[in-house]
Structure 1
């Protein structure tokens, strides 16, 4: 009778109970394996070098000073280069002015006539060049035939250019106030109500140009 007791040590287990133990064993193995994989992952992600303190992420004052110094030196070089180019431009302008000043009236008139009668060139550029040549001629030398011819050609070009400049100027012509300032909001060709209210009232439209603008 005792041999039929299923709970006795060494007795054969019931098949269903054996299957339950097997499932639990597999579950334990799976859990142990997952823990092992997690530990390996943690070890692999751990940095191999020494752990840096939070101070490594703080701004480096020496690096900031160096960067500011580099920028300051670059700005200084750029300013020096601009100043050098400006000096060279002025020197070249003075050299050309000296050459122009040495030209006699007849040569000036010939060059001005050539500029004003040339084909395919810019009209305003030709006029400005002629004016640059003819303006320095003294009144006593303006009676020569070649000088009078050049001055007449320049005057004809001036009338055409001045008419065009005035037409363009009218589109944005400003409004003058009685204190001599320009109205910041009003224009000559527009409503004048309320204009120059803090500048002693409206004086009139901005004067039109009286001569061609040359650089």
Structure 2
């Protein structure tokens, strides 16, 4: 049974979401003290976090940063605010998805199922360690190690990089990436993929590898080997 942490201060909405998710055999936890979310997160050790942006004490962005300092587990943001910048900020902080309120519960459940399936159930025929452009890619630990240092990636980021490396020097279309990442593209904004790609590139830039992920305008993206430049 997967453990889900639902960080939502609206008790009515919390109970509705918990009831729906419990029907799918998920173990749903809430927050007792909204000034101490990080400690409760550490104690619960969830497999996935669903977090509202508007919370008492500190907003969801703050707690996402705190959670990301401890774990790369999947995070879904909820928001009643109609600001595109909220989605961009969520993705830049390492969220795996973003849902606008009000939403249909079937959409939330579909997203939760897709993320859990992708993060915890996907297998690869490749070894856990792979080399690319002089870096060692550890798919098990979500870490890239290079002479210039090491970086940690989120589940979405490592999955995108894995798909690109598997087809290195070949174009992977945006549609292929979206379908592989989120299963049902009806629930996904095209901008979500762009934000994830940009976030991946920014981290790769820290160890000098961002240039090796190329954008093919109108087509998709391509991971190239260093000698191909």
Q: TM-score range by the shorter chain?
A: under 0.3
Choose between structure 1 and 2: higher strand proportion. Answer: 2
1 or 2, which has the higher helix percentage?
1
Structure number, greater radius of gyration: 1
TM-score between both structures, scaled by the size of structure 1: 0.24
Q: Larger relative contact order (C-alpha < 8 A, sep ≥ 6)?
A: 2
**TM-score, with length taken from structure 2:** 0.23
